[in-house]
Amino acid sequence: MQNKTKLVFKGVTEIVGGSNMGLLILTDSNEKRQIAIVCDKTIEEQINLRLAQVPIKNILLPEVLCSVNPDMNSENYELFFNSISGGQYKVVLFNKITLEMTPIRASDAILLANIANLEIFMDDKLFLKQSVSYADGKNKIALPVNALSTPMLKTALEKAIENENFELASNLRDELQKRKQQDNA
């Protein structure tokens, strides 16, 4: 594998403005920089359930599957964020024994890491490009436009135009056009 940065899950937060999306916050192990992974409400609720240490969680499907597969642990597996495309991080579940890489949705990877105590890594170059400075207790985070889904970009563009933030609108429009060109290629 490439040079990689170890990530630590710090928590989950809602996106302000009534969205049905949340953000999963991860930092490097030194807590100098952070990234945010967009997730749907279901994953946000599932992670919050695990963070609350609710006793019923031991009979939920992910926990049961991990318990019947005792090899699902950090000795045998890790999660690796290797790229981003179309607003989605590309992640693989990496089997350290067989070297097999199984694609997994980024938010599901974070949930699995919480359940099975798996280590999370990101390609160094990707982490430097996507991350922002971390400050514990900070209630706002910058999110790179390439980490937003296309529908989220369109909504943000409408709001930027409505608020007459033309610089932001220009950046959002450029990202949408870039994606459209990549889709056509």
Q: For residue 1, what pLDDT band results from cuts at 50, 70 and 90? A: low
Please give the share of the chain, as a percent, with pLDDT higher than 70: 93
Question: Which pLDDT score, from 0 to 100, does residue 143 have?
Answer: 67
For the cut 60, the answer to whether the pLDDT of residue 126 exceeds it is: yes
Q: Tell me the mean pLDDT in the region 103-122.
A: 97
Mean pLDDT of the 14-42 span: 85
- Given a cut of 70, whether residue 17 has pLDDT beyond it is no
Nearest to 147 by CA among 95, 107, 103, 99: 107
With CA atoms as reference, report the closest residue to 47 among 26, 72, 18, 73: 26
Give the pLDDT score at 46.
Answer: 93
pLDDT at 141 over 70: no
Q: What is the pLDDT of residue 4?
A: 97
* pLDDT band with cut points at 50, 70 and 90 for residue 16: low
Give helix 41-51 / helix 106-116 axis angle, nearest 10°: 10
Asked whether residue 167 carries a pLDDT value surpassing 90, the answer given is no
Residue 23 has pLDDT above 60, yes or no: yes
H helices then E strands: how many in the chain?
Answer: 6, 8
pLDDT value of residue 139: 57
What average pLDDT is seen over the chain? Answer: 87
